[in-house]
Structure 1
């Protein structure tokens, strides 16, 4: 007698402030190097959390651990209250969506099919899938080249298509690794507005950023990483001090309030 496995169902909607992911005393090793050394981070529904810090600080590694893609050497990662290792791959796919730094495909899939891959975890009707895919493509402004091969796109266009796939997945926890790196000014703002929109709708968004101005403008909270540890965690107005940023980045900076919004503007101190 063969036992039929039931497909996992999406989690119930989260309430604002619910903890969707967290790490506790997390240590991660890559080869012989300890990349994260005792990291505590909490990710809540309804907020955008920006991970910032210099190259090699551990931002992408932390994102990978939150996604359950990298194992913990010590400590624990919890997703929706359960240790990450306790979820199956299909269950995870309904709870978190991951945007890696670079999106590559071996075959020349049309853009629309790449976005549709985000619907794989779901059992919705074709009409519902069509609507979700169309909405995600419109939000990221890739509808105009829906039929073009993904391999024929520019770097920035590929990045937006990859984000559309993540949005189409409709997971309540979004983990985005440098989503603005290949984008022009307009589309950097577009992507961060989408992050705020998803948080406003009740999702939790974790985004790795190098642009401290974008982090200050759009993130509800920032976690500043340095040498595998969290140097500070809180609103950008509290975390982005001249002394702390100058020390962490090993580069003197000035922090000024934006003349209209008051958000911190971080400027390298230059002697020209």
Structure 2
């Protein structure tokens, strides 16, 4: 009887989406307006998110980066405009269908119960109607990629802030959704693990996923993002390759801080630094 019930539950779950073709728009905001409380934060923002691409959202504090990410995740209902995920309005998808199509990493990860690291990562497999072997493989690969395998049995609550951030990232990777949305994933990390996270973003894009990442570090955005959307006061000030949109004039204006932009001597990627007295 238990086996029959399990089969029925599996049949009742939604099927995962078909693999995307590079360039497919997996999410988009169109003329999006959004509020936080009584304050309108986004004012007519339009941004596409494409398979095979890392899109970095950058801009000063309060520009609307996290709000836009929350709207693209269908976690924040818009006041006006529309968010589409896999070509359909986000509101047309059920919660189980959304969980198969997008994975979200919030700014902070907190848990009230004493879950182990492995149990937290395994939560990413909840949307899937797969067997234990496939789930185990996905969890093991995600923990290895985020370099958290060694403390798999430790309580999540006993970890440092940076370790928690990497475990939360591993949960997102284990979910294996084609749209990956990361809100400041490098904020609590040391230099090595900042680079690790952005390399993983690139790997997911090479595998065909669409990755959106909120970043404050413009050097990381320039080095790893295919596209950058620069937000200012709830609007998109520029959208394009970092080598094109990262100009001294625009960035100095957006951040209200004089900056210098110059090519990296080895890679040619744009390097952004505040202009300081000599």
Partner SS state of residue 94, structure 1: helix
Distance in structure 1 (CA, Å) of the matches to 2:103 and 2:206: 17
Matches of residues 67-86 of structure 1 in structure 2 within 5 Å?
67-86=73-92
CA distance in 1, matches of 2:256, 2:68: 22
Match of 2:182 among 162, 169, 176: 176
SS of the residue corresponding to residue 138 of structure 2 reads: helix
CA distance in 1, matches of 2:134, 2:206: 22
CA distance in structure 2 between the partners assigned to 1:18 and 1:219 by the alignment: 17
Match of 2:54 in 1: 48
Question: What CA deviation, in whole Å up to 9, does each residue of 1:42-70 have, x standing for no partner?
Answer: 00000000000000000000000000000
SS in 1 for 2:12: coil
Give the superposition deviation at 1:31. 1.5
Deviation digits for residues 153-196 of structure 1 (CA, Å, limit 9, x no counterpart): 00000000000000000100000000000000000000000000
Counterparts of 1:146 and 1:116, CA distance in 2 = 11
Residue in structure 2 matched with residue 143 of structure 1 by the alignment: 149
SS of residue in 2 equivalent to 1:151: helix
Name which of 258, 268, 275 aligns with 1:269: 275
| Distance in 1 separating the partners of 2:117 and 2:187 | 20
Paired residue total = 270
Shift of 1:217: 0.3
1:254 matched to 2:260: yes
Find 1:198's aligned residue among 193, 204, 224.
204
> Displacement, 1:6?
2.1
The structure 1 segments of at least 4 consecutive aligned residues displaced by more than 4 Å after TM superposition are none
Task: Give, in whole Å, the separation in 2 of the partners of 1:31 and 1:135.
Answer: 40
- Cα distance between partner residues in 2 of 1:161 and 1:61: 23
* Distance across 1 between alignment mates of 2:23 and 2:140: 30
Please name the residue that 1:234 is paired with. 240
Q: Which runs of 5+ in 1 are unaligned?
A: none
Match of 1:24 in 2: 30
- How far does residue 84 in structure 1 lie from its aligned partner after superposition? 0.6
Specify the SS of the correspondent of 2:71. Answer: helix
Question: Of 129, 139, 160, which aligns to 1:133?
Answer: 139
Given the alignment, which residue of 245, 248, 262 partners 2:251? 245
TM-score with structure 1 setting the length: 0.98
Distance in 2, Cα, partners of 1:31 & 1:119: 33
The Cα of 1:92 is off from its aligned counterpart by 0.1
Corresponding position: 1:156 with 2:159: no
TM-score, normalized by length of structure 2? 0.96
**How far did residue 108 of structure 1 move?**
1.2
